[in-house]
Structure 1
Amino acid sequence: MPELPLSNGFVLSPVERSDRDAIVEHLQDREIWRNTLYIPYPYTEEDADTWIEGRINHRRDQPAEVTFALRNPDEKLIGVVGADDLEVGTTHRANLGYWLAKPYWGRGLMTRAARRYTRYAFDHLEVVRLTAEVFSWNQASARVLEKLGFQREGRLRKHREKDGDLVDVLYYGLLRDDFRPEA
């Protein structure tokens, strides 16, 4: 499986069973849950086991990895970036998702990771379009996408349910031809 280097010892590499404790630890943070679409809260060991096994089984059937762990220089998982449901070769588009452990926020790390993943997706996953949904209050995530050249294509009003409320989502898209790999 590929390892995608970033800088300063950070890398993207496949998710492994040994990542369970780090995933559970980081996803206890309610702010991460608040800003993501599908991560449950509180996050349990069972949730982690189910997700990790799903990733391992999915990659067994794919010609290329579609979801990566973001690892610090000590090789500890500190986030995830990918397109979990992408079946390579069956569609021209994929939905990008990501999260980052709170101690690493505000350092530009997710921008670097998402940029590297986006380059990989366009080069190896047979997609020509990436999309992403961001809750309307999550301006940091919106900035990550905009730095990569994603265009805001709309605001989907009361599109998702979060914590019992219907909330707005900002919808972003990026075509391969519009990607800024080194911006």
Structure 2
Amino acid sequence: MGTELKGNGFVIRGWKKGDQISLQKHADNPKISMYLLDRFPSPYTMEAASWWVDRLFDQPEPLLNFAITIGDKVIGGIGLEPREDVYRKTALLGYWLSEELWGKGIITEAVKLVTAYAFEKLDIIRIQAGVLSKNPASMRVLEKAEYVKEGISRNAVIKNGEVMDEHVYAMLKKG
């Protein structure tokens, strides 16, 4: 089996066939998609879940996109998107978690685990995350994971017809 990162009561692993059922169940929530990029579907249909799993179930190592699981059921996702050109040593971080598990420290621990994995396995020196201004819970996740807020890009995003600021967080590779 490929990479597995073990958290406290959960496992972060690559995607596999069959994940689409629990993925669709937990991702189909407007409170989750509300602060994610528009490419995260809402409603999150079974077709969208199947497309995602089909696209990622055989990722090469090192992995860039992970399922967060409990009892082998998907309860969230976390991934890295390497940038290009002059930004090629930076990856963007994104994540989501089932609403029923919010506030339990799972996503903070997942961010820490994936960050450590990324700095060890990928040729990067920086991981960056952007958080929409109306999502203070995600800002707290990154702060607890020791990411540093570097600034605020004002009026940088439009989500559901509303203009918002983007708070930029980053972690730099040590050493």
| TM-score where L is the length of structure 2 | 0.90
Q: CA deviation at 1:166?
A: 2.1
Instruction: List gaps (5 residues or longer) in structure 2.
Output: none
Distance 1:174 1:48, change over 3 A: same
* 2-structure distance, mates of 1:51, 1:75: 17
In the TM superposition, 1:71-90 aligns within 5 A as 71-72=69-70, 74-83=71-80, 85-86=81-82
CA contact (8 A) 1:131 1:174 kept: yes
CA contact (8 A) 1:131 1:173 kept: yes
Residue in 2 that maps onto 1:34: 34
Q: Does 1:107 align with 2:104?
A: yes
Residue in 2 that maps onto 1:65: 63
1:156 corresponds, among 150, 153, 156, to: 153
* 2-structure distance, mates of 1:160, 1:52: 28
Q: CA deviation at 1:133?
A: 0.6
Which stretches of structure 1, 4 residues or more, deviate above 4 A after TM superposition? Answer: none
Q: CA deviation at 1:12?
A: 0.6
Residue in 2 that maps onto 1:181: none
Q: CA deviation at 1:54?
A: 2.5
* 1-structure distance, mates of 2:89, 2:126: 6
In the TM superposition, 1:100-139 aligns within 5 A as 100-139=97-136
1:35 alignment partner, SS class: coil
* 2-structure distance, mates of 1:42, 1:17: 21
Q: CA deviation at 1:122?
A: 0.5
Residue in 2 that maps onto 1:23: 23
Give % identity.
33
Residue in 1 that maps onto 2:6: 5
CA contact (8 A) 2:134 2:164 kept: no
Q: CA deviation at 1:167?
A: 1.7
2:82 alignment partner, SS class: coil
Letter in 2 for 1:137: K
1:127 alignment partner, SS class: coil
Instruction: List gaps (5 residues or longer) in structure 1.
Output: 179-183
* 1-structure distance, mates of 2:16, 2:157: 30
Q: CA deviation at 1:25?
A: 1.0
Residue in 2 that maps onto 1:145: 142
* 1-structure distance, mates of 2:44, 2:155: 25
| TM-score where L is the length of structure 1 | 0.86
Q: CA deviation at 1:26?
A: 1.2
Number of equivalenced pairs: 171
Q: CA deviation at 1:87?
A: 7.7
- Alignment RMSD (CA, Å): 1.9
